[in-house]
Amino acid sequence: MSARFGRLPWLWLSLLVFVIDQASKFYFDNALTLYQQIVVIPDYFSWTLAYNTGAAFSFLAGASGWQRWLFALIAIVVSAVLVVWLKRLKPDETWLAMALALVLGGALGNLLDRVIFGHVVDFILVHWQHRWYFPAFNIADSAITLGAILLALDMFKSNKSGETTP
């Protein structure tokens, strides 16, 4: 692919994340009732259905509804920035392209939920012997988190702008 398109071919990963995210949300939204829990690994991991009208960790979930459109707008702007960034990447910036594609796929998956349903569908629940619970999340959230980790790791790679890390 020519340099004209930068690393846009990595959009296949964004599409894959988006499709898997939407398919899994569709499945769990239809297979479970709200807050129903199916234990997969006792004391550690369950499937559950939860709706999040807020952002990460249910931030602003209790607001009156305006947050739906704020988070949708943020997702649209971030997605546009990520596509432009992907287009401008150099051929050797594979890890960065992968990170951006993961974040983009996750952002678009949660954006669709927000716009269509008014909430994000979550279904993965990690807990510790019923004493500690991590907030429910989904494939999109996982992709965004993995992409953010790859972005952070990419910052520490050597040979960025001709510099080496000590």
Rounded CA separation 56/74 (Å): 13
Backbone angles phi, psi at 55, to 5 degrees: -105, -155
Alpha-carbon Rg for the chain in angstroms:
18
Among the listed residues 51, 65, 54, the one whose alpha carbon sits nearest the alpha carbon of residue 121: 51
Annotated active-site residue 122? The verdict is yes
Name beta bridge partners: 52.
120
Side by side, the strands of the sheet bearing 37-41 are 37-41, 45-52, 120-128, 132-133
- Does the active-site annotation cover 92? no
Amino acid found at 74: I
Query: Which of 29, 92, 113, 122 is flagged as catalytic?
Result: 122
Residue with tokens 């992907």: 86
User: Can you tell me the distance from the alpha carbon of 99 to that of 154, in angstroms, rounded to the nearest whole number?
Assistant: 9
Backbone dihedral angles phi then psi of residue 121, each to the nearest 5 degrees? -85, 120
Catalytic residue among 29, 43, 113, 141: 141
Active site residues: 122, 141
